[in-house]
Amino acid sequence: MQSNSDPRIIQPVELRVENVAKSFGSFVALQNVNLTCKVGQVTALVGPNGAGKTTLFHVIGGNLAPDSGRVFLNGMDVTGLPPYKIARRHVGRLFQDVRVFPALSVAENIEVAFLHRSDYSLATTLAWWRAEAREKDRRERAMKWLEFVGLADKADEPAGELSYGQQKLLALARIVALRPALLLLDEPTAALSPAMTKKMVDLIRSLVAEQKLTIALIEHNMGVVRDLADYIYFLHEGTVHTHGTQKEVLENPAVRELYMGLSGGMAI
Amino acid sequence: MNLFAQLLGNGIVQGAVAMLYAAGFGFVYRSFRVFHIAMGAQFVFSCYAFYLCATMLRLPLALAVCGTLALSVLFAAAIEWAVYRPFFHKGCSSGVVMIASLGVMIVVENLIALAFGNEVKTISNQLEPSIVFSGLRFTRIQLLQFFVGIGVFAAVGVAVRFGKWFKALWAMGDQPELLPVLGLPLMRLRLLVMSIGGILVAIAAMLISWDIGMDPHVGMHYLLLGSVAVFFGGTDRYWAWGAGAMLLSVLQSLAVWKFSARWTDLVTFGVLIFVLLFRPQGLFGVSKRLEEAK
């Protein structure tokens, strides 16, 4: 893990979304969405399927340009930048479905995350006399993140041979290997076993505690939301319906009715 | 026995060149997941670019080679910009892109036929005298084909094995949308793939057209051989493309020994079907978990 004395430490990032709207033909996916993800906090986005949560991640990550509105990272307008430029501003994204490179080894999956850095420029690549040292350094860095998620013993196996849960852990390790300051996690525990869900939650918690990452989390598992979220936005039909602390949102009667199908004092 | 050895030798020489155009097809297929029919157009274009530089413009050989490579890279980039990239952005199926790729080949073949005519064109190589090794006769251009083919394929193989950027190209074939999330410029990487493929095909095209000449319709023949070699060897491994190309070329050459040159395509496709029935991943390919197989 990165210590606070590391000179290469990344500056924390605050995410601010202002009046974002996005439509697909006549379907309004997002309408005047405003939210802020504060540094070192886990901000959860909850809401029914089709509420616009993943579309909002697409807009923040640069995969979709909003029809209107702006996205700011530490006050800098990044609206409409291509995804690779957003990623280079230390924004990491974990997708809802598991995505690894099955033909590459587990360690190579991590090493792909290092490629955009200056140590892969043409000049450094051609410096063959330093190749061995570079290779060793890359391997050590990859192993550090594999140890973090408990996959170090599988470093040389093809990633395609890992189980579903292990592939999700590998995807998380690869994203944190980018050394992000802001993580966009889209249902990180979807389809995981209870034991694997606990492990994923523990890893996310340690990322926040030890690295002060800002995390935006989409999650349907209310147990996970209760475990991790400092602040919650409830999205419904493309708009922010309610936002606040766990108590303010999860105990809001309208949220309970619209999202969880609960009424009155029924427990979640 | 001498005929067998001679045909085997000829097959190995043809295989050395086939490794290049198979790799040219393989890079695009593996990275884009597109059946790159336009590789046939790339081949024909490179042949005629070489003819233009070496014969019509009478450039010195080194300049003609450099000019051909530069034109071929531009041509490959044009295919990406004008055809593959727009379809990629629209999220079209690989079948649609394949048809568009076929269209590119037909259009280019016809344009070249219009510009240069349908008759066979040759390039004076002045390298005709043969060399005899233990009773086997090879022309100097065959030796050039062998050493350049093996040398370039091996050099690119080393880059694939040790160059980390090639990992990104492999990764692109599995999860293209993930690369930008990792800070990698996907569109530039696609251009890189097309350029590498274009250079490999161009080198093969120059070696072949210098030896036996060209006509506007040779592209399909080399497209079929290159693509079959990639599937025969296994689509996921660079060395398997080369092994597939070499084995197929030797088989084709030896088919002449027992049958006649008319039956070489029968042998090629017969062997391909037989191998794929028992090893769908190719002779040297990696079998996949059921969840991965799409």
Of A84, A95, A99, the CB nearest to B183: A84
Top-confidence residue, B112 or B289: B112
**Quick check: B174 contacting A, CB < 8 Å?**
yes
> Are A189 and A94 part of one and the same domain?
yes
Of the candidates A68, A73, A76, A101, the residue with the CA atom closest to the CA atom of residue A13? A73
Q: Tell me the shortest Cα–Cα distance from A123 to chain B, in angstroms.
A: 13
**A217 belongs to a structural domain:** yes
Binary contact (B174, A125; C-beta < 8 A): no
What is the tens place of the pLDDT at every residue in A76-112? 999 989 999 999 999 999 998 888 998 889 999 998 8
> Are A188 and A84 part of one and the same domain?
yes
Binary contact (A83, B180; C-beta < 8 A): yes
pTM, two decimal places: 0.85
Ramachandran assignment for A11, one of left (phi > 0), alpha (psi -120 to 50 degrees), beta (any other):
beta
In whole angstroms, what is the distance from residue B89 CA to residue A80 CA? 16
Bridge partners for A22 per DSSP: A30
**A224 belongs to a structural domain:** yes
Rg for chain A (alpha carbons), in Å?
A: 19
What's the longest Cα–Cα distance across chain A? 70
> Are A92 and A157 part of one and the same domain?
no
**Statement: residue B289 has pLDDT above 80:** no
Binary contact (B180, A62; C-beta < 8 A): yes
**Quick check: A84 contacting B, CB < 8 Å?**
yes
Would you state the pLDDT for residue A2?
44
**Quick check: A80 contacting B, CB < 8 Å?**
no
> Are A140 and A203 part of one and the same domain?
no
Of the candidates B238, B204, B220, the residue with the CA atom closest to the CA atom of residue B31? B238
Amino acid at residue number A19: N
**Quick check: A130 contacting B, CB < 8 Å?**
no
> Are A22 and A147 part of one and the same domain?
no
Rg for chain B (alpha carbons), in Å?
A: 19
Contacts of B286 in chain A (CB under 8 A): 103, 158
Contacts of A82 in chain B (CB under 8 A): 180, 185
Instruction: Tell me which chain B residue has its CA closest to the CA of residue A161.
Output: B289
**A132 belongs to a structural domain:** yes
Q: Tell me the shortest Cα–Cα distance from A85 to chain B, in angstroms.
A: 6
What share of residues in chain B are helix, strand, coil (percent, to 5)?
Answer: 75, 5, 20
Is the separation of the CB atoms in B209 and B21 below 8 Å? Answer: no
Provide, rounded to the nearest whole percent, the portion of chain A with pLDDT above 70. 87
> Are A75 and A204 part of one and the same domain?
yes
Inter-chain CB pairs, A–B, below 8 Å: 85
CA distances from B243 to A232, B18, B239, B248 (A): 57, 10, 6, 8
Is the separation of the CB atoms in B67 and B53 below 8 Å? Answer: yes
Q: Tell me the shortest Cα–Cα distance from A46 to chain B, in angstroms.
A: 23
Instruction: Tell me which chain A residue has its CA closest to the CA of residue B166.
Output: A112
**Quick check: A111 contacting B, CB < 8 Å?**
yes
Bridge partners for A186 per DSSP: A218
Give how far the C-alpha of residue B259 lies from the chain's centroid of Cα atoms, to the nearest Å.
Answer: 26
Is the separation of the CB atoms in A173 and A145 below 8 Å? Answer: yes
The sign one gets for the Cα dihedral A241, A244, A250, A253 is negative
Is this prediction's ipTM beyond 0.85?
no
Q: Residue A3 belongs to a domain with what CATH number?
A: 3.40.50.300
**Quick check: A137 contacting B, CB < 8 Å?**
no
What is the tens place of the pLDDT at every residue in B200-210? 999 999 999 99
> Are A36 and A89 part of one and the same domain?
yes
Contacts of B179 in chain A (CB under 8 A): 84, 112
Pairing of strands A76-77, A68-73: antiparallel
**Statement: residue B85 has pLDDT above 60:** yes
**Statement: residue B145 has pLDDT above 50:** yes
Lookup: tokens for B29: 């297929």
Would you state the pLDDT for residue A1?
46
Q: Collapsing DSSP states into helix, strand and coil, what is residue A187?
A: coil
Is the separation of the CB atoms in B87 and B97 below 8 Å? Answer: yes
CA distances from B283 to B17, B33, B275 (A): 20, 20, 7
> Are A116 and A207 part of one and the same domain?
no
> Are A60 and A34 part of one and the same domain?
yes
Binary contact (A102, B292; C-beta < 8 A): yes
**A77 belongs to a structural domain:** yes
In whole angstroms, what is the distance from residue B200 CA to residue B72 CA? 10
What's the longest Cα–Cα distance across chain B? 59
Average pLDDT score over residue span A58-69: 94
**Quick check: A100 contacting B, CB < 8 Å?**
yes
**Quick check: B155 contacting A, CB < 8 Å?**
no
Average pLDDT score over residue span A62-73: 94
Q: Tell me the shortest Cα–Cα distance from B55 to chain A, in angstroms.
A: 36
**A253 belongs to a structural domain:** no
Average pLDDT score over residue span A154-176: 92
Q: What's the domain count of chain A?
A: 2
**A32 belongs to a structural domain:** yes
Angle CA A130–B156–B190, to nearest 5: 95
Is the separation of the CB atoms in A12 and A214 below 8 Å? Answer: yes
CB-based burial of residue A90 (10 Å sphere; 0-12 exposed, 13-18 middle, 19+ buried)? buried
Q: Collapsing DSSP states into helix, strand and coil, what is residue B208?
A: helix
> Are A96 and A109 part of one and the same domain?
no
Q: Which domain holds residue A130?
A: 103-161
**A256 belongs to a structural domain:** no
CB-based burial of residue B85 (10 Å sphere; 0-12 exposed, 13-18 middle, 19+ buried)? middle
pLDDT band at A115 (very low <50, low <70, confident <90, very high): confident
Contacts of A92 in chain B (CB under 8 A): 181
Report all structural domains of chain B as residue ranges with CATH numbers, in order of start.
Answer: 2-116+140-278 (1.10.3470)
CA distances from B19 to B200, B249, B264, B288 (A): 9, 9, 18, 25
Q: Tell me the shortest Cα–Cα distance from B195 to chain A, in angstroms.
A: 17
Of A103, A115, A158, the CB nearest to B184: A115
In whole angstroms, what is the distance from residue B241 CA to residue A142 CA? 30
Contacts of B85 in chain A (CB under 8 A): none
In whole angstroms, what is the distance from residue A186 CA to residue A219 CA? 7
**A212 belongs to a structural domain:** yes
> Are A38 and A153 part of one and the same domain?
no
Calculate the average pLDDT of chain B. 91
> Are A221 and A145 part of one and the same domain?
no
Is the separation of the CB atoms in B3 and B253 below 8 Å? Answer: no
Average pLDDT score over residue span A171-197: 91
Instruction: Tell me which chain B residue has its CA closest to the CA of residue A102.
Output: B174
- Which are the contacts of A184, defined by CB distance < 8 A and separation ≥ 6? A57, A60, A61, A91, A92, A93, A94, A216
Of A83, A87, A160, the CB nearest to B292: A160
